[in-house]
Amino acid sequence: MLRHQLGEDAFYRGLKHYLEVNRGKNVVTADLARAIEEATHVNIDQFLGQWVYGAGAPKFDLSYAYDNEKHQVALTVKQTQKVEGRVGIFRVPVEVEITAAGGSKLHPITVSKAQEIFTFPADSAPVMVLFDKGGQVLKTAEFHKEKKEWLHQLKNAGELADRADAAAALGKAKADDEIIAALGDALRHDKSWGVRATAADTLGKLGGASASKTLLDAVNSSDTPGVRNRVVTALGNFKDDPVIAAKLESLARQDNSYRARASCNGPPRESPSNRAPPPSGAWRAFRRTIRTSPNRLLRISTNSIFRSAWPPSSPWGAEATPRPSRRSKPF
């Protein structure tokens, strides 16, 4: 946040000065503030006061209206976090982007009150309004928009954070073919794996036959481990479907991504093909010897290894049950 607020050049110039003047010294936060002010002529005491010495983060409730006669957008910003202790009303500079028929315009504003209304010129009704473009500020926000606006944002927003916000927001709407299709398109084609993963999460929450089919198609075509993991996790919401249950069991056994296999929660324990072979005679003898060892750490470690290979539910798992030690001290 501070880098975005100061700008790239000023931020790194301040860091360089901070390192140079404090080389080999003990420092406190005030030394960083002083160095940045000396290098950039910008006082960051207010920033540190709310983000370092204060507590919490802003919670915004957002809405807007377009006045066709005045040709302007009125954006209502409310801070709804509970103000108590070190949590107060935050003062944050943000960028608002208004996209209308004539193109996109960026408007810098500073939010500093519990409730404010900001007005921006617009030749026509906007198709997309972004508050804090790119998600530069630590916050939570509830932006009240219509479905068509979220769909436009998911497809056309330039920053991945804004497209991911749209994908998550569509999960709160009533599922229909248009939403499923848009999320499926994002899951297959968005250039950011983070947006694709969020689209998979939302499809899993929405449910329905169309969503499950979209996820099944994606798991067969997606090769990015992070996305594949989230697709498999989302498919876990449809385990009652025998086709999906069989697919998850197959993935748990042989998928190339360990993360995806872990998301399947593994194959059924009672499956004979996945049951560990019985412990050998040599291993049993070794176990009996170790269980009488006076070294408690060795006994615990060996028992853990035995349990990982033969869980208590297996026919040989009872042998992993630790015997109470007769020693009064651990070693």
262-313 per-position pLDDT tens digit? 887 644 444 444 455 655 666 666 666 666 667 776 667 666 666 666 565 5
Higher pLDDT, 323 or 293: 293
Query: Which residues, listed in sequence order, are joined to residue 67 by a DSSP beta bridge?
Result: 72
Alpha carbons 330 and 318: distance in angstroms, whole number? 24
Strand pairing class (92-100; 103-111): antiparallel
Mean pLDDT of 45-53: 94
Mean pLDDT of 96-121: 95
Alpha carbons 116 and 119: distance in angstroms, whole number? 10
Length of the chain: 331
**Spans of all domains in the chain:** 2-51, 57-144, 145-237, 282-320
Higher pLDDT, 254 or 34: 34
Single-letter code of the amino acid located at 120: F
At the fourth CATH level, the homologous superfamily of domain 145-237 is Leucine-rich Repeat Variant (1.25.10.10)
Q: What is the pLDDT of residue 267?
A: 41
HEC readout, 176-201? CHHHHHHHHHHHHHCCCHHHHHHHHH
Same fold, 57-144 and 145-237: no
Q: What is the pLDDT of residue 270?
A: 44
Say yes or no to pLDDT of 319 above 80: no
- CA dist 153 to 72, 148, 161, 168, Å? 20, 9, 11, 11
Taking all residues of the chain, what is their mean pLDDT, rounded to a whole number? Answer: 85
Higher pLDDT, 252 or 87: 87
Single-letter code of the amino acid located at 319: E
Higher pLDDT, 3 or 255: 3
Mean pLDDT of 237-257: 83
Mean pLDDT of 42-70: 95
Q: What is the pLDDT of residue 254?
A: 80
Q: What is the pLDDT of residue 268?
A: 42
pLDDT in tens, 180-234: 999 999 999 999 999 999 999 999 999 889 999 999 888 888 778 888 889 989 9
Say yes or no to pLDDT of 173 above 50: yes
- 166 pLDDT band, cuts 50/70/90, is very high
Q: What is the pLDDT of residue 253?
A: 82
Q: What is the pLDDT of residue 226?
A: 83
- 24 pLDDT band, cuts 50/70/90, is very high
Say yes or no to pLDDT of 4 above 80: yes
The CATH number of domain 57-144 is 1.10.10.10: no
Neighbours of 223 (CB within 10 A): 8
Mean pLDDT of 232-250: 86
Q: What is the pLDDT of residue 305?
A: 66
Single-letter code of the amino acid located at 306: F
Say yes or no to pLDDT of 56 above 90: yes
Q: What is the pLDDT of residue 148?
A: 94
Is residue 323 within 8 Å of 291, Cβ to Cβ? yes
Alpha carbons 200 and 206: distance in angstroms, whole number? 10
Alpha carbons 313 and 322: distance in angstroms, whole number? 15
Structure tokens at 249: 């069991």
Q: What percent of the chain has pLDDT over 90?
A: 62
Which of 26-30, 146-150, 195-199, 278-282 is the least confident region? Answer: 278-282
Query: Which residues, listed in sequence order, are joined to residue 99 by a DSSP beta bridge?
Result: 104, 128
